[in-house]
Amino acid sequence: MFKTWSIIFALAIFITGQILVTRFVASEQQRDLEQLRFTSLQELATLRARLEGLVNANLMSMRGLRA
Amino acid sequence: MNPELDAERFRRLSEELISDDLHVRHVAVAPNLVIKHIYPLAGNEGAIGLDYRTTPDQYASIAAAINAQDIVINGPLELVQGGQAMIARLPVFSEEGQLWGIISQVIDHRSLLEDAGLFGTDASTSQRLQFSLRGANGTGLSGPVIFGNPMIWEQQPVTASVNLPVGEWVLAAAPPRGEWEPPMYSYYWLWSLGTLLSLAISLLIFNLLTSYRRLKHAFATISHQARFDLLTGLPNRASFMHYLRDQIEHCQRKQGKFAILFIDLDHFKEINDSLGHEAGDELLLEAGHRIQSSLRADDIVARFGGDEFVVLLRDLADPLDAEFLADKILGKLQPQFVVAGHDVAIQGSIGIAVFPEDGVNPSDLIKHADLAMYAAKAAGRGTSYFYNDSLRNEAEAHIQLHHEIQRGLQANQFSVYYQPVIDAATRSLISVEALVRWNHPEYGVISPVHFVPVAEKSGTIRELGAFVLAQACRDYHAFEAAGLPTRISINRSPREFNDPKASQHWLDQIDSAQVPRESIIFEITESLLMPDRERQHQMLRKLSDTGVRLSIDDFGTGYSSVTYLRRFPVSQIKIDRAFLHGLPENQQQTALVKALIEMAQALNLEVVAEGVETETQANALTAMGCDLLQGYYFSPPIPANELIAWHAKFAKSKAPNTR
């Protein structure tokens, strides 16, 4: 009787532990996601700057022709 | 812009302005919206002279540029020359603000985007991110996709707007997998570590619980062993002393009595030596069981070690009861034990100490019981002994009497006498009361007063009662043959009702003797009608239902509750002889008897007056309405044959009385 209860109790502890591990992993995953979005945004900003620069360089030649 | 721009100057100017690192395919100048110059001319000659106003699909974008007064980028569009490209339109105005014309530039957007790095600057980037651009014609987010996988826009991409002179494009990036979250399996090391950790903790806790349980079990064993004897499971000395102290305190408060029996098995050592210790243990275990089974529920038996047992008898009404319980224990020990395949006969010696006579503290009581036990052993074993002298003498007398009653029953020393019960009105014999007499060979005739209480205590009363009933049944037939009215009253002790089968035995006895049940009256005492005796009440009802009549003996001396009388099937009450003292001179006494008789009449009960000694008493009782009379005035209790003779004489002498 007591042994059964011990097993149930230990099992409950294990399940609780697994729930905590799952929550921790999920929060890690969320953190990594934020990090990825942040670096992606930074990369995108560089790309945008380069694209704007190239477009403007092309347009500049047209403006020069007007002058 | 110089309106007089000639072709050669335009070519040189364009050559200078449009370097190789730009993505310009060609530039067209259209003063007044008609294409006049194109650089490079080679391959584009067909476009010279094209009026934009005549090409509606191009005019719309030109109108937009004119409207915005700034560069408008269109496309990507399908080119007339083949392939796709974007077209930038720059409206040119004169100093007065008049539209001079349009400069158009065809931009190879693919190489532009490639140079900007949208196809992935390096391998690691393209693995992590995919790009897409939308907002053709500078329409921003709402515009169609210019480049890249359109699915990216569904995948919560990160976005950045690319500003154009008019309008904007929107750049988006998303991981090639389509989801931003890293997959769960990529955290396998966290999973493994966490699982291992929780597994370790739960195993640790399981171990802790298990060892706690073992510890608790061990403690329980220790505490049980500290209080109980290992072999017999009975309380041990320490535990018994604890109970004893409690009992002493309890009895000191309540002025109660209790006794201690010190039991020692005789010749146990010899058995132990000859049959071995295991056989000895077996014997002790069985002896412990037998002792316990002979005690009441709240008595305590303990093993003191070796072959010594001690019993605490709680709540003794009379110290002499201890003697009977001791005898009961000795009786239980008497039958042979089967130990290790041998039949072993064993006896016990019991020493009895009584609180408070033999000591008021535990050690004195135990010591005195022990001493008494040695005295019992010295007196010849297999017996019990009181420590207290007077109790011992009294007990010895009782035990002796008890044994003598049993011997007397076997030796036919008991006989039944009958006292006539007379009808008050007709003065004729109505019934007889059967009374037991003991013709002791040494002491002569002994009155029931002396031996019935002992017989009640020791249980011999059952055998005595059965004897009286059997004898009365035999005599019934003799009386019937002699022409006597045949109703016989027989006294029943309350103790006889303790046996649940007693009533059935009596009925069987009456039936087998072929005596009509209606001829038998059982005289019982009022104490039997007390409310807490439901089982006894059922027996009374059963007797009454089957025809046996019930009479209340010694009415008026006990509880005399009218309620009980009404509730039970009683047909007769017998007024105790004590009420007849001083009758009829004493007026109070007379009034009391009269009241009793009237009450019985009201309840429809027959009334018998016992102890009628004079004629005046008989007459007075008759006048009061008493139904039946019994007493020495008529006849003392006499043997059956004398009764028959007495009746013949009485019937003759009665004739003048009734006249």
In chain B, the percentage of residues whose pLDDT exceeds 70 is: 97
Say if residue B240 is in the same domain as residue B340: yes
Give B324-333 pLDDT, tens digit per residue.
Answer: 888 889 989 8
Is residue B85 in some structural domain?
A: yes
Given an 8 Å threshold on Cβ–Cβ distance, is A66 in contact with B190? no
Residue among B358, B542, B27, B527 at smallest CA distance from A59: B27
Question: Does the pLDDT at position B433 exceed 90?
Answer: yes
Least confident of B46-55, B188-197, B235-244: B46-55
Is residue B273 in some structural domain?
A: yes
Given an 8 Å threshold on Cβ–Cβ distance, is B162 in contact with A7? no
Find out whether B240 and B228 touch, Cβ atoms under 8 Å.
no
Given an 8 Å threshold on Cβ–Cβ distance, is A6 in contact with B213? yes
- Rounded to 5 degrees, what are φ and ψ at B241? -60, -35
CB-neighbour burial class of residue B43 (10 A; exposed 0-12, middle 13-18, buried 19+): exposed
For range B250-262, the mean pLDDT: 90
Which residues are within 8 A (CB) of B156 and not within 5 positions of it... i.e. 6 or more apart?
Answer: B174, B180
Is residue B423 in some structural domain?
A: yes
Given an 8 Å threshold on Cβ–Cβ distance, is A11 in contact with B88? no
Task: Tell me which residue has tokens 């002393």.
Answer: B241
The alpha carbon dihedral of B511, B513, B518, B523 has a sign of negative
Residues of chain B positioned with their CB less than 8 A from the CB of A66: 1, 90, 92, 103
Residue among B570, B633, B638, B578 at smallest CA distance from B599: B570
Q: Could you tell me the CA-to-CA distances from B432 to B437, B519, B549, B609 in Å, in that order?
A: 15, 10, 14, 13
- Assess B209–A contact: CB distance below 8 Å, yes or no: yes
**Tokens linked to B69:** 């007064």
Given an 8 Å threshold on Cβ–Cβ distance, is B190 in contact with A21? yes
- Assess B178–A contact: CB distance below 8 Å, yes or no: no
Question: Where does A1-67 have alpha helices with state H?
Answer: 2-66
B-facing residues of A in 10-49 (CB < 8 A) are: 10-11, 13-14, 16-18, 20-21, 24-25, 28-30, 32-33, 36-37, 40-41, 43-45, 47-48
Query: Count of CB atoms within 10 A of residue B538's CB?
Result: 12
Query: Count of CB atoms within 10 A of residue B464's CB?
Result: 24
Residues of chain A positioned with their CB less than 8 A from the CB of B118: 47, 51
Give B71-86 pLDDT, tens digit per residue.
Answer: 999 878 887 777 888 9
- What is chain B's mean pLDDT, rounded? 87
pLDDT band at B629 (very low <50, low <70, confident <90, very high): very high
Pairing relation of β-strands B520-524 and B549-555? Answer: parallel
Give B360 to chain A, closest Cα distance, Å. 46
Q: Which residue does chain A place closest to B107, by CA atoms?
A: A58
Say if residue B363 is in the same domain as residue B440: no
CA distance B487 to B505: 20
pLDDT band at B656 (very low <50, low <70, confident <90, very high): very low
For range B478-492, the mean pLDDT: 89
Given an 8 Å threshold on Cβ–Cβ distance, is A14 in contact with B171? no
Q: In the prediction, which pLDDT does B397 show?
A: 80
Residue among B92, B85, B94 at smallest CA distance from B66: B92
**Tokens linked to B410:** 């076997």
CB pairs under 8 A between A and B: 164
Q: In the prediction, which pLDDT does B268 show?
A: 86
- DSSP calls for B187-221: GHHHHHHHHHHHHHHHHHHHHHHHHHHHHHHHHHH
Q: In the prediction, which pLDDT does B121 show?
A: 58
Q: In the prediction, which pLDDT does B380 show?
A: 79
Could you say which of A3, A9, A63 has the minimum Cβ distance to residue B90?
A63
Say if residue B494 is in the same domain as residue B519: yes
Q: Which residue does chain A place closest to B88, by CA atoms?
A: A59
Which residues are within 8 A (CB) of A25 and not within 5 positions of it... i.e. 6 or more apart?
Answer: B184, B187, B190, B191, B194
Pairing relation of β-strands B488-491 and B429-440? Answer: parallel
Residue among B370, B228, B385 at smallest CA distance from B308: B370
Is residue B395 in some structural domain?
A: no
Say if residue B271 is in the same domain as residue B214: no
Give B239 to chain A, closest Cα distance, Å. 29
- Assess B211–A contact: CB distance below 8 Å, yes or no: no
Given an 8 Å threshold on Cβ–Cβ distance, is A66 in contact with B22? no
What domain range is B40 assigned to? 7-111
Residue of B66, B104, B209, B217 for testing the chain A interface, max A β-carbons within 10 Å:
B209
H or E segment and range at residue B131: strand B130-134
pLDDT band at B18 (very low <50, low <70, confident <90, very high): confident
Given an 8 Å threshold on Cβ–Cβ distance, is A25 in contact with B117? no
Q: In the prediction, which pLDDT does B124 show?
A: 63
pLDDT band at B497 (very low <50, low <70, confident <90, very high): confident
DSSP three-state, residue B401: helix
Say if residue B324 is in the same domain as residue B461: no
CA distance B372 to B387: 5
Say if residue B464 is in the same domain as residue B593: yes
Given an 8 Å threshold on Cβ–Cβ distance, is B173 in contact with A40? yes
Give B544-595 pLDDT, tens digit per residue.
Answer: 898 899 998 888 777 667 777 777 888 899 998 888 888 888 888 889 899 9
Give A55 to chain B, closest Cα distance, Å. 8
Say if residue B372 is in the same domain as residue B475: no
Question: Where does B569-633 have alpha helices with state H?
Answer: 587-602, 615-624
For range B531-547, the mean pLDDT: 84
Q: In the prediction, which pLDDT does B76 show?
A: 85
β-pair partners for B553: none
CA distance B628 to B574: 9
Residues of chain B positioned with their CB less than 8 A from the CB of A11: 202
Could you say which of B1, B73, B117 has the minimum Cβ distance to residue A66?
B1
**Tokens linked to B508:** 């069987």
Say if residue B489 is in the same domain as residue B607: yes
Give B45 to chain A, closest Cα distance, Å. 20
Q: In the prediction, which pLDDT does B3 show?
A: 53
Q: In the prediction, which pLDDT does B658 show?
A: 40
A-facing residues of B in 86-105 (CB < 8 A) are: 88, 90, 92, 103, 105
DSSP three-state, residue B411: coil
Q: Which amino acid is at A55?
A: V
Give B151 to chain A, closest Cα distance, Å. 17
**Tokens linked to B354:** 């009584």
- Total count of domains within chain B: 5
Given an 8 Å threshold on Cβ–Cβ distance, is B162 in contact with A28? no
Say if residue B296 is in the same domain as residue B164: no
Q: In the prediction, which pLDDT does B5 show?
A: 67
- DSSP calls for B308-371: EEEEEE-S-SSTHHHHHHHHHHHHHH-SPEEETTEEE---EEEEEEEETTT-SSHHHHHHHHHH
CB-neighbour burial class of residue B302 (10 A; exposed 0-12, middle 13-18, buried 19+): buried
Task: Tell me which residue has tokens 């009662």.
Answer: B465
Given an 8 Å threshold on Cβ–Cβ distance, is A51 in contact with B73? no
Q: In the prediction, which pLDDT does B40 show?
A: 83
Question: Does the pLDDT at position B122 exceed 80?
Answer: no
CA distance B34 to B262: 141
Given an 8 Å threshold on Cβ–Cβ distance, is A32 in contact with B1? no
Question: Does the pLDDT at position B42 exceed 90?
Answer: no
Give B131-150 pLDDT, tens digit per residue.
Answer: 899 988 888 888 889 888 88
- Assess B38–A contact: CB distance below 8 Å, yes or no: no
- Rounded to 5 degrees, what are φ and ψ at B250? -60, -45
For range B34-58, the mean pLDDT: 84
Say if residue B166 is in the same domain as residue B194: no
Question: Does the pLDDT at position B105 exceed 80?
Answer: yes
Given an 8 Å threshold on Cβ–Cβ distance, is B88 in contact with A58? yes
Give A35 to chain B, closest Cα distance, Å. 10
Is residue B503 in some structural domain?
A: yes
Q: Which residue does chain B place closest to A60, by CA atoms?
A: B17
Residue among B5, B68, B69, B77 at smallest CA distance from B39: B5
Q: How far is CA B641 from the centre of its chain?
A: 66
Find out whether B608 and B551 touch, Cβ atoms under 8 Å.
yes
Say if residue B557 is in the same domain as residue B630: yes
Per-residue H/E/C for A36-49: HHHHHHHHHHHHHH
The whole-number mean pLDDT for each consecutive block of 10 residues of chain A, a chain of 67 residues, reads 85 94 93 92 91 90 81
β-pair partners for B103: B29, B90
pLDDT band at B659 (very low <50, low <70, confident <90, very high): very low
Which residues are within 8 A (CB) of B412 and not within 5 positions of it... i.e. 6 or more apart?
Answer: none
The alpha carbon dihedral of B202, B203, B207, B210 has a sign of positive
Question: Does the pLDDT at position B367 exceed 70?
Answer: yes
Give B443-471 pLDDT, tens digit per residue.
Answer: 888 888 888 888 887 778 888 999 999 99
DSSP state of B236: -
**What value, to the nearest 5°, has the Cα angle with vertex B325 and ends B324 and B330?**
95
Find out whether B348 and B337 touch, Cβ atoms under 8 Å.
no
Is residue B81 in some structural domain?
A: yes
DSSP state of B150: G
Say if residue B311 is in the same domain as residue B455: no
Residues of chain B positioned with their CB less than 8 A from the CB of A1: none
- Assess B160–A contact: CB distance below 8 Å, yes or no: yes
Give A1 to chain B, closest Cα distance, Å. 11
Q: In the prediction, which pLDDT does B657 show?
A: 46
- Assess B158–A contact: CB distance below 8 Å, yes or no: yes
Q: Which of B371, B387, B403 is the last residue of a domain?
A: B387
Question: Does the pLDDT at position B123 exceed 70?
Answer: no
Task: Tell me which residue has tokens 């408060």.
Answer: B253
Residue among B538, B569, B545, B575 at smallest CA distance from B557: B575
